[in-house]
Structure formats: C-alpha cells, structure tokens
C-alpha cells in the first residue's frame, strides 16, 4: 500500500505546485500557502486521528482516511477559484490525519522491535519505488492536462480504501484504560517526547522543500518540468539502491537521535550546494546528498516514537508527533516559498539554501544534546 500511496501522492503534489505557479499564475509563496494548509490539516489533526485509532481500531481509521484523501485529490481537478484549492487541500489533509498515525501504529504493533527499523526502512524503499513510477505518470499526465493527473491520483486512493477494507488485518491495541482526555494529558506531560517533537519541526522544514522549492528551482534553472521528474526520480532511485545498505552499515550505531541529526545536516548541505548548481548533473548530485540525509534519518525518525509510548497509546504518540510535520511542513512550504521568491527577486540565489543549511546545523546540534540527556535511558528502558 505504501507503494501505491506514493505513486498517487508524488504524481500530484510536486506538479500541483507547478500548476498553481504556471497555469494559475500564483506566486510560489501563494502556492506554498495552499500546501501549508494541506500539511497543517493533516498533521494538525493527526493527534486526534491517533487517539481515534487507539480507541476504535487502526483498520477502520485507515480506510476512512484513504477515502477522504481520494476525494480531496479528485477535487483539485475541478478547482477554478482560490477557495476551491484551499478546500481540496483541507480534505486531502484531513484524510492523511486519519490514515497516517493509524498506519504507523499498526506497523509498530505488528512488527517485532528487533526488526522494526528494517521494516520501516524497507517501507521507505517501497515508497520510493512508487515515487519513481509517479514521476513517469506525473510527467506524462501533466503534459496533457492537470485535470487527469488529479483524477488519477484520487482514483488510486479510492482503490486503496477498497483494498484496505477487504485485505488489511484488524490490527489494534485499543486503549480501554484511559479516556481521550487522559491520553492527551499523558502525552503532553512526556517532556522528552515533547522536546523531540519540537526539534523535528526543523527537520520537516528541510524535508518539505522536496515538494516546493526544489521542483521550482529545477524548472527555473533548467527550463522544463520534465527535469523535475528526473531529479525527483534520482532521489528515489538513490533511496531504492542504498537505503537497506545504510541501515546495515549503521546497525551497531546506538546513538539514534544523533543519526537523525546527521541526516538533517546532510539534507541541509545538499540543498546549500544548489547555490552553485547550474546543470542537470550538478542538481542530481546535490539531490543524492539530500537523499542520503533522508536515508540515514527517516527509518530512525519513525522508529523512535514507540520508545517513548506505552503500547496502548502508540497511535496517540504518532499522531502528536505529527505536529512537528504540521508546523515544520507549513513553515517549510510557506516561508520556504516566500524566501525563495525573495532570493529570486533580490538576486540572492543563496538565500533559501543558506537558511536550509543553518536549519540542518541547528537540528543536528539539538538532537545531539537530546541524545546526551535521554537517548541511552530510553533504549535501556525499552
């Protein structure tokens, strides 16, 4: 399912940005605001989605979320007014707020701890196989009409909702001991987890550039949407080839918070090098550096959440952790887009990428500090 989800998502979202800035004529900051609304609608409500999945079961929550996401994606095909785009963005985000924490919790519950990071890494590989396929589909359909690209992406999620209803196991770890409010209070009182979530806002600021400023930079530099697909596929192919190897190489490295920070630093370095990139090959090389950063950090990023959470509250913890993506993703798309536009207009091509490098350095340092405080204790308790 991760494979098909990524085909639908990555076939649409990068080209949605180009559609709004090209055919619709919006600024990149305005397009970034739409993506921010979608991101915040998803991650801002993911805590509630996680609480609901803990209380009522993961399968039903996932199926409902997939159906709502499908409706939102299809709605983009019919947008003619500004508010239409925002409504479609909210719908697609709300769908994700249901299926994402439920899906992550189901993975964590069904997977033994000893192989969990490998499962999340392999999930990342399968997802990136989907990304490669999505770029072929997205490039082909966007060359005809954005309408068909939206319909295709939405149809895949409708298909997934049916497959999920018929085929997914009824994974659950229902929280019958605590009310929803008690679960909320328990999560908020977990100070190390709250700090971890706060730091990840910076990480997701970096990560979200793959959906906005990087595609825009590629088109501005190379002059064609086709190259956007090539660059995004380069990131995915690198992940497919090296993700599992990297997990094997890092298997004996126990400082997991530090690894996440190292990944964020590499992402910032890769984007900073865009300052000097003026050819497809240079952009692809910088994108591979960015990809290595995500390969180091992403499996551990997801794996760390169950170390904080009681088993009956894993969905709630994944949901609350989504606030880091809500704020980081919203800042990354809106402020990232605004800074990129400012750099273009003021002839400061280094501005957006220098901020990314600075964010990467800060995130790496803060996660190293968190490692010294709670990292060893958490893993020993688990």
Q: Torsion over CA of 173, 178, 180 and 186, rounded to 10 degrees?
A: -100
Question: Residue-wise over 236-273: b if at least 16 C-beta within 10 A, else e?
Answer: bbbbbebbbebbeebeeeebbbbbbbbbbbbbbbbbbb
The Cα 193–Cα 180 span in angstroms is 18
Give domain status of residue 173, yes or no.
no
pLDDT in tens, 36-86: 888 788 877 887 888 887 777 788 889 999 999 999 999 999 998 999 999
Per-residue confidence (pLDDT) for residue 284, from 0 to 100: 96
Give domain status of residue 7, yes or no.
yes
Question: Residue-wise over 21-44: b if at least 16 C-beta within 10 A, else e?
Answer: beeeebebbbbbbbbbbbbbbbbb
Out of 112-116, 149-153, 186-190, least confident range: 112-116
Q: How far is CA 315 from CA 54, 62, 318, 345, in A?
A: 6, 12, 5, 44
Find, among 156, 20, 137, the residue nearest to 89 by Cα. 20
Tokens describing residue 117: 């990071």
- Residues whose CB is less than 8 angstroms from the CB of residue 177 and which lie 6 or more positions away in sequence, other chains included: 312
Average pLDDT of every residue of the chain: 84
Out of 51-65, 123-137, 294-308, least confident range: 123-137
Give domain status of residue 98, yes or no.
yes
**Residue 48, domain extent:** 2-168+181-381
What's the whole-number mean pLDDT along residues 330-340?
86
Phi-psi region at 25: left, alpha or beta (left = phi > 0; alpha = psi -120 to 50): left
Per-residue confidence (pLDDT) for residue 43, from 0 to 100: 76
- For 270, the enclosing helix (H) or strand (E) is helix 256-272
8 A C-beta contact, residue 308 and residue 178: no
Structural domains in the chain (count): 1
Per-residue confidence (pLDDT) for residue 228, from 0 to 100: 86
8 A C-beta contact, residue 83 and residue 212: no
Summary count for the chain: helices (H), strands (E): 17, 0
Give domain status of residue 351, yes or no.
yes
The Cα 100–Cα 270 span in angstroms is 28
Q: Which of 44-58, 256-270, 293-307 has the highest average model confidence (pLDDT)?
A: 256-270
The Cα 341–Cα 347 span in angstroms is 10
Give domain status of residue 231, yes or no.
yes
**CATH classification at residue 230:** 1.20.1250.20
8 A C-beta contact, residue 138 and residue 10: yes
8 A C-beta contact, residue 162 and residue 100: no
Per-residue confidence (pLDDT) for residue 39, from 0 to 100: 79
Give domain status of residue 175, yes or no.
no
The Cα 333–Cα 198 span in angstroms is 18
Find, among 73, 131, 55, 65, the residue nearest to 98 by Cα. 65
> End-to-end distance of the chain based on CA atoms, in angstroms?
29
Name the band, by pLDDT with cuts 50, 70 and 90, for residue 9: confident
Tokens describing residue 323: 């606030």
Give domain status of residue 367, yes or no.
yes
Give domain status of residue 176, yes or no.
no
pLDDT in tens, 168-191: 776 555 544 556 677 778 888 888
Q: Is the pLDDT of residue 375 over 70?
A: no
């Amino acid at each position: 399912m991760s494979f098909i989800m990524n085909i639908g998502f990555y076939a649409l979202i990068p080209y949605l940005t180009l559609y709004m800035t090209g055919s619709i004529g919006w600024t990149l900051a305005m397009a970034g605001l739409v993506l921010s609304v979608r991101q915040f609608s998803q991650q801002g409500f993911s805590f509630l989605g996680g609480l609901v999945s803990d209380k009522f079961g993961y399968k039903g929550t996932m199926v409902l979320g997939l159906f709502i996401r499908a409706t939102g994606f299809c709605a983009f095909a019919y947008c003619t007014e500004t508010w239409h785009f925002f409504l479609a963005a909210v719908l697609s985000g709300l769908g994700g707020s249901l299926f994402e924490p439920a899906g992550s919790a189901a993975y964590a519950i069904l997977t033994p701890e000893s192989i969990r990071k490998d499962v999340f890494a392999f999930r990342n590989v399968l997802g990136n196989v989907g990304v490669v396929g999505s770029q072929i589909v997205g490039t082909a359909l966007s060359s005809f009409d954005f309408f068909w690209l939206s319909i295709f992406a939405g149809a895949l999620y409708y298909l997934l909702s049916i497959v999920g209803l018929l085929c997914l196991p009824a994974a659950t770890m229902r929280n019958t001991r605590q009310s929803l409010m008690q679960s909320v209070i328990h999560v908020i009182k977990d100070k190390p987890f709250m700090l971890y979530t706060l730091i990840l806002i910076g990480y997701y600021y970096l990560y979200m550039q793959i959906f906005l400023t990087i595609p825009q930079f590629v088109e501005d530099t190379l002059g064609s949407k086709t190259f956007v697909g090539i660059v995004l596929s380069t990131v995915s192919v690198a992940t497919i080839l090296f993700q599992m190897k990297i997990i094997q190489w890092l298997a004996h490295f126990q400082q997991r918070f530090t690894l996440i920070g190292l990944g964020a630093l590499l992402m910032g370095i890769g984007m900073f090098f865009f300052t000097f990139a003026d050819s497809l090959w240079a952009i692809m090389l910088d994108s591979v550096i960015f990809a290595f950063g995500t390969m180091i950090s992403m499996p551990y990023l997801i794996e760390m959440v169950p170390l904080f959470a009681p088993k009956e509250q894993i969905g709630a913890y994944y949901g609350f952790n989504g606030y880091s993506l809500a704020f980081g993703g919203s800042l990354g798309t809106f402020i990232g887009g605004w800074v990129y536009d400012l750099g273009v207009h003021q002839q400061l091509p280094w501005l957006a990428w220098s901020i990314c490098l600075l964010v990467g350095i800060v995130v790496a340092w803060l996660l190293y500090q968190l490692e010294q405080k709670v990292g060893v204790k958490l893993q020993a308790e688990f």
